[in-house]
Structure 1
Amino acid sequence: MTGSDFDVDTDTDTDTDTGTDTDTDTDTNPHPTLADSIQLIGENAATIDAATLADIPVEERTVEIVCSTGDRYTDRWQGVPIPDLLETKAAAAASFPPSTTHLLIESRDGQRGCVAVESALEGLLAIGKDGQPLEEIAGYESRFVAPDVLGPRTVKDIARIEAATLEPGEDPEAYERLLQIEADEETTETDV
């Protein structure tokens, strides 16, 4: 895959709810794909694979990431909108319950963020940044990014997305595994 995989003609719209610029891929070139599938866990388990991703239009959005160190980075991310991902046959097979309040987004190395559904639905399963495939520039294939979601919850190298129903007042952090990985990230990575 080359950086040109993300050089596409786009139509730009501004999301009126978030003010985020979104570009819809209007190119007919093949979509970048993931080598590893992503598990969707609802009432059942299902798998998102490369073929499923190839059927979903890629969008480009400007999203600011706020790291645990307080550093801020604004980049153009290319990827599949989470709502579109959740409308696939695989997501229907996983059967996310209507009572779902949060999504647990987990990486291949065990990091897990708990993100409110409203915030997650504004996000992307990003596969590129600033026109370059993540695998080439960052060493991982995918990243969850969304406006107003703190950096430690923008999970990298996504392995699974699971539905969770939290009770009112229940702490989402109780479902997360961020601290050790967050500390490691501070010492080894500064901008991705």
Structure 2
Amino acid sequence: MTAANPEPAEERSESRAQGAESAGERSTETLAVAVEGRERVVVSAGEVDSFPRTSRICTVECASGERATDEWTGVPLDALAAAADFPGETTHLRAEADDFAADIPIRPALGGILAFDRRDGRDDGETGLPRLVADGVEGERLVKRVERLSAVSLDPDEEPRVG
């Protein structure tokens, strides 16, 4: 496996906003997400003017089997991949949170968004904004509380990460 810009998990904490005390108290206005390809781009809901914003209605099926269809608003992942200059050999998008990471096949991932908002500003605590949301992607790979997105090239015999 080749990550575009590998970084140890302990160094990922720099992408968290200063002063965030708990996941329930983090503000998506200040929470930063690092996007890494050949370049490193940092995006937050409060500073997305240089990126297009879009809303999509997507159904999320959790690992528990629960399904929720809702409207999510955020930055299209294809725009973030272009800004970070993902290499042509990228096979997966790795989405990482504090204690979880998942590799999503690049084609369906690029059709998704990095959501900073849910319809009517609703966040029931389980939503875990910012959240990767994409149709056709297994619920366990739709990472909550995203801190980092990165371009990954997996060998054909290598299993994508989830967990």
* TM-score of the pair, normalised by structure 1: 0.63
Partner secondary structure for residue 87 of structure 1: helix
Query: For structure 2, which runs of at least 5 residues remain unmatched after alignment?
Result: 1-26
Partner secondary structure for residue 120 of structure 1: helix
Structure 1 position 78, deviation (Å): 1.2
- CA distance in 2: counterparts of 1:37 and 1:102, whole angstroms: 21
Larger radius of gyration, structure 1 or 2? 1
Q: 2:69 aligns with which of 74, 79, 84?
A: 74
Q: Is the 8 A contact 2:35 2:81 kept in 1?
A: no
Q: Is the 8 A contact 2:35 2:80 kept in 1?
A: no
- RMSD of aligned alpha carbons: 2.3
> Is residue 149 of structure 1 aligned with residue 137 of structure 2?
yes
Q: Is the 8 A contact 1:77 1:130 kept in 2?
A: yes
Partner secondary structure for residue 147 of structure 2: strand
2:117 is aligned to: 128
1:38 is aligned to: 33
- CA distance in 1: counterparts of 2:51 and 2:76, whole angstroms: 9
1:113 is aligned to: 102
Query: For structure 1, which runs of at least 5 residues remain unmatched after alignment?
Result: 1-31, 179-192
- The one-letter code matched in structure 2 to 1:97 is P
Render the CA deviation track for 1:45-90: whole Å, top value 9, x for unaligned: 44335565122232111111111122211111111111122233xx
Partner secondary structure for residue 131 of structure 1: helix
* TM-score of the pair, normalised by structure 2: 0.73
Higher share of residues assigned helix:
1
Q: Is the 8 A contact 1:34 1:141 kept in 2?
A: no
> Is residue 162 of structure 1 aligned with residue 150 of structure 2?
yes
Count residues in correspondence: 136
Structure 1 position 150, deviation (Å): 1.5
| Percent of residue pairs identical | 32
